Amino acid sequence: MSTALNRRRFIARSLQGAAAASAWPGLEAGAFVLGFGSHAKAAVPGTSAVGPEINAWVVVYPDDRVVIRIARSEMGQGTLTGLAQLVAEELECDWARVSTEYPTPGQSLARKRPWGNFSTGGSRGLRDSQLYMRQGGAAARMMLIEAAAQRWGVPVDQCRAEQGAVLHSTSSRRASYGELASEAARLPVPDKPALKDPSQWRLAGKPLARLDTVDKTTGRLVYGSDLVLPGMLHAAIKACPVFGGSLRSFQAQAVLGMPGVKRVLPVGANAVAVVADTWWRAKKALDALPIEWERGPNAQLQQADVDALVRSGLTSEAAVDGWRQGQAVQVLAQSARRVEATYGYPFQNHATMEPMSATARVTLGADGTAQRCEVWTGTQNGEASLTAAAQAAGLQPQHCEVYKLAMGGGFGRRGTAAHDWVTQSVQIARQMPGVPIKLLWSREEDMAHGQYHPITQCRLSATWNESGEVQALHMRLAGQSILQALYPQSVREGRDPLVFQGLNASGAESAIGYGVPHVLIDHALRNPPVPPGFWRGVNLNQNALYLECFLDEVAHASGQDPLALRLR
C-alpha cells in the first residue's frame, strides 16, 4: 500500500475527526480540526494491526491556540515536545501558543484507528512518527494560506505563513490562524503538502524548553498516582510472594473494623486487596490481614536453581543460530591460540520512580451488568491498557476507555501487553461498581512482582592469527525469551530474534560491528518461572557487555592494546 498522503486519504481522515469532534471535551465551535496520517502497513482482516498506521490531529482555536494531539507517550524522554516541534515547524505557528493532548485509545478505536499504533518504546517515538506529522503540519499551513488568499482575493503565491499568521507580501494585511481557522477547514486538502527543507528549520531539532517542564516543576502535572476523582476510594494490593502461586484464603473480619476500611476483596487468582478511604489505611489493614497462600510448584525455587538451569544451555547441543558465517567451531578446535570466558547477567527490575498505579471505574447498566469501564493510568501503550481493561471488565473494547496520565518512569514496564496493574484495578472496581478505585502498588510489591529483564549467560571463544586479527568467534547465549513469554507467536522454532540484538550480521541497530571471518552466534532457550519483560535496551544491554568485555580479554591474551584490536 502506498504511503503517499493523497487527497482522498487526507479527506477521509479529516472527516473521521470532524464527525467525532464532539467526543473531545472542550472542543470549541469554530475550531479547525485537521487530521493527517499515512499508512505504512495495511491491517490484515481478522488480525490485529502490527504496523505503524499512524495519525495525529491539529486543532486551531479562534484565540490562536494550537493543540497538537500525539498518540505517543511522554515519560521523560522528550517525545511529546519533539513531535510537537515537527508539527509546529511545518505549520509555521507561534510556539508560545502550542500545547499537546493525548488522544485516547477508545476514541482511536471508534474512528477506525486514525492514530495507528499507540505504543511508545524502542526509541521510536520520533523516528516512526516524524514524516506523517510533518506532512500534517505542512498541509495545515497550506490550507490556512489558501484561506487568507481567498479572503483577500489575491494569488496564493503572494501570501506566506509566519508565527501563527498569514501575511500578504504586497500590502500590510495580516490574518491570524485563529481568524482563518473556520475558512481553512472547508478547503480541499493539498495532494502533496510541501515540506520545509531542514536547513530552514527554526523550531524542529532546536534545543527548546520542553512543553511539560513548567507543569512538572510546579507540581501541576497529574501522574497516575496523583489523580483525585469525586467519591474515589483507595486500594492496596498483595499478591502471592511465589511466582505461580495462588490465593488460598484470607480473614476479612480481622481488618474490616480498622479505620477507613471499606472492603477486602480477592483479585484474580493470586492476590488480595484492601479498599479504604486513604491508601495508607488500606496498606495498614493489608499488612494486618491474615492471608494463606497456595505457593504452588515454585515454592522451593532458589536463585541457584535458576542459575543452573540457564548454565545448562551453555553446553547443550540444542541451540538455534543467530548468525553463522564460515567455520567458527572447526577453526577454534584447530587453533593453538584460544581464549574462553563465561559471563552472566542477572534479573533486572525496572524500579520506576512511580510504582504501578491505575484508577478504574466500572458502571452498571439498568440490568445490573457492567456497561462501561474507564481507566486512568500512566502507560506506554494505551491500546494494551484498553485491551486489559476490557478483558478484566468482561466488556468489548468499544465500551471501555483509557485516559493516559503522566507516568513516573516507564523503561518498558508500562509498555507490554501484560498491563497487570490495569487488570487488577478493574478487577477491584468491578466488585464495587460505580465507585472510582485507585490502585497503587507499594514499592515492595513493585519489586516482587515486576516483569524483569531476563537472566542470561554467555560462553565465548575466540582465536587470532599471527597479526593479532581475530579469526574466529563463537558466542553461545543461554537464557530467557521475552517474546516467548509475552508474544509467543513471534518465536519460530525456538528462535527469539531479540536474543541476538547487537550480534547480527547487518543492520544499523543490530550488527556486531566487527569483521571476523568465522562467526557463530547461537542461543539455547532456558525459561525459568520468573516473568520477563522489556527493560530499556533489552538484550543489547548484556550482549554488548559480553562481547566488549571478552574482546578486552582477547586483547590481553594476545598482547595487544584493546583499541588496536578493535580497529584491525
- CATH code assigned at 493: 3.30.365.10
Q: How far apart, in whole angstroms, are the C-alpha atoms of residue 568 and residue 558? A: 13
- Do 237 and 319 sit in the same domain of this protein? no
Q: How far apart, in whole angstroms, are the C-alpha atoms of residue 400 and residue 242? A: 32
**Span 7-34, average pLDDT:** 42
User: Which residues make beta-bridge pairs with 561?
Assistant: none
pLDDT higher than threshold 50 for residue 39: no
pLDDT band at 536 (very low <50, low <70, confident <90, very high): confident
In-domain check, residue 434: yes
Of the listed ranges 136-140, 280-284, 333-337, the one predicted with least confidence? 136-140
Cα angle 20, 26, 28 (rounded to 5 degrees) comes to 80
Q: What percent of the chain has pLDDT over 70?
A: 89
In-domain check, residue 223: no
Grid look-up 510472594 returns: 241
Q: How far apart, in whole angstroms, are the C-alpha atoms of residue 359 and residue 547? A: 44
Q: How far apart, in whole angstroms, are the C-alpha atoms of residue 538 and residue 412? A: 9
How many independent structural domains does the chain possess?
3
**With contact defined as beta carbons under 8 Å apart, do 359 and 377 qualify?**
yes
Q: How far apart, in whole angstroms, are the C-alpha atoms of residue 190 and residue 187? A: 9
pLDDT higher than threshold 50 for residue 190: yes
Query: Among candidates 93, 116, 91, which has minimal Cα distance to 105?
Result: 116
**With contact defined as beta carbons under 8 Å apart, do 247 and 271 qualify?**
yes
In-domain check, residue 200: yes
Among the candidates 218, 243, 275, a domain finishes at 218
Of the listed ranges 156-165, 370-379, 392-401, 536-545, the one predicted with least confidence? 536-545
pLDDT band at 30 (very low <50, low <70, confident <90, very high): very low
Of the listed ranges 125-129, 396-400, 423-427, the one predicted with least confidence? 125-129
DSSP string, 14-59: HHHHHHTGGGSTTPPTT-EEEEEE--SSPPPTTS---S---EEEEE
Number of Cα atoms under 13 Å in the Cβ half of residue 117 = 21
- Do 17 and 108 sit in the same domain of this protein? yes
pLDDT higher than threshold 80 for residue 23: no
Helix-strand-coil split of the chain, %, nearest 5: 35, 25, 45
Question: Tell me, what's the pLDDT at 343?
Answer: 98
Question: Tell me, what's the pLDDT at 12?
Answer: 46
- Do 23 and 51 sit in the same domain of this protein? yes
Question: Tell me, what's the pLDDT at 225?
Answer: 96
Per-residue pLDDT tens digits for 266-315: 999 999 999 999 999 999 999 999 999 999 999 999 999 999 999 999 99
pLDDT higher for 30 or 562?
Answer: 562
Q: How far apart, in whole angstroms, are the C-alpha atoms of residue 115 and residue 39? A: 10
Q: How far apart, in whole angstroms, are the C-alpha atoms of residue 53 and residue 35? A: 13
DSSP string, 67-95: EEE--SPPSSSSHHHHHHHHHHHHHT--G
**Span 491-503, average pLDDT:** 90
pLDDT band at 51 (very low <50, low <70, confident <90, very high): very low
pLDDT higher for 40 or 312?
Answer: 312
- Do 53 and 132 sit in the same domain of this protein? yes
Q: How many CB atoms lie within 10 A of CB 488?
A: 10
pLDDT band at 562 (very low <50, low <70, confident <90, very high): very high
Question: Tell me, what's the pLDDT at 493?
Answer: 86
Of the listed ranges 45-59, 124-138, 348-362, the one predicted with least confidence? 45-59
- Do 285 and 311 sit in the same domain of this protein? no
Question: Tell me, what's the pLDDT at 47?
Answer: 26
In-domain check, residue 228: no
Q: How far apart, in whole angstroms, are the C-alpha atoms of residue 460 and residue 514? A: 15
**With contact defined as beta carbons under 8 Å apart, do 273 and 328 qualify?**
no
In-domain check, residue 226: no
Per-residue pLDDT tens digits for 375-384: 999 999 999 9
- Do 339 and 458 sit in the same domain of this protein? yes
In-domain check, residue 175: yes
Coil/strand/helix, residue 206:
coil
Question: Tell me, what's the pLDDT at 97?
Answer: 94
Strand ranges in 227-329 using DSSP code E only, listed in sequence order: 233-239, 246-250, 261-267, 271-276, 291-294, 320-325
Among the candidates 400, 427, 448, a domain finishes at 448
- Do 411 and 468 sit in the same domain of this protein? no
Among the candidates 430, 448, 466, a domain finishes at 448
pLDDT higher than threshold 50 for residue 14: no
- Do 22 and 113 sit in the same domain of this protein? yes
Strand 437-440 to 357-364 pairing: antiparallel
pLDDT band at 508 (very low <50, low <70, confident <90, very high): low
Q: Is 171 exposed, middle or buried (0-12, 13-18, 19+ CB in 10 A)?
A: exposed
pLDDT higher than threshold 60 for residue 186: yes
Name residues whose C-beta falls within 8 Å of residue 436's C-beta, 6 or more positions apart in sequence. Answer: 229, 230, 231, 232, 233, 359, 360, 361, 429
Mean pLDDT, the chain, integer: 88
Per-residue pLDDT tens digits for 406-434: 999 998 899 987 899 999 999 999 999 99
Q: Residue 462: which H helix or E strand, with range?
A: strand 456-464
Of the listed ranges 17-26, 87-96, 148-157, the one predicted with least confidence? 17-26
- Do 109 and 185 sit in the same domain of this protein? yes
Question: Tell me, what's the pLDDT at 170?
Answer: 92
Question: Tell me, what's the pLDDT at 501?
Answer: 92
Of the listed ranges 132-146, 194-208, 249-263, the one predicted with least confidence? 132-146
In-domain check, residue 1: no
- Name the most confidently modeled range: 95-104, 108-117, 385-394, 405-414: 385-394
Strand ranges in 126-259 using DSSP code E only, listed in sequence order: 159-162, 165-168, 174-176, 233-239, 246-250
**Span 7-21, average pLDDT:** 43
Q: Which domain holds residue 499?
A: 303-348+452-567
- Do 32 and 46 sit in the same domain of this protein? yes
In-domain check, residue 225: no
- Do 247 and 335 sit in the same domain of this protein? no
Q: How many CB atoms lie within 10 A of CB 127?
A: 10
User: Which residues make beta-bridge pairs with 66?
Assistant: 60, 98
Question: Tell me, what's the pLDDT at 509?
Answer: 63
- Do 143 and 55 sit in the same domain of this protein? yes
Query: Among candidates 362, 526, 557, which has minimal Cα distance to 456?
Result: 526
Grid look-up 472542543 returns: 27
pLDDT band at 28 (very low <50, low <70, confident <90, very high): very low
Query: Among candidates 35, 37, 46, which has minimal Cα distance to 68?
Result: 35
Q: How far apart, in whole angstroms, are the C-alpha atoms of residue 238 and residue 472? A: 51
Q: Which three cell numbers stand for residue 247?
A: 490465593
Per-residue pLDDT tens digits for 348-393: 999 999 999 999 999 999 999 999 999 999 999 999 999 999 999 9
Q: Which three cell numbers stand for residue 534?
A: 522489556
**Span 479-484, average pLDDT:** 93
Q: How far apart, in whole angstroms, are the C-alpha atoms of residue 274 and residue 65? A: 44
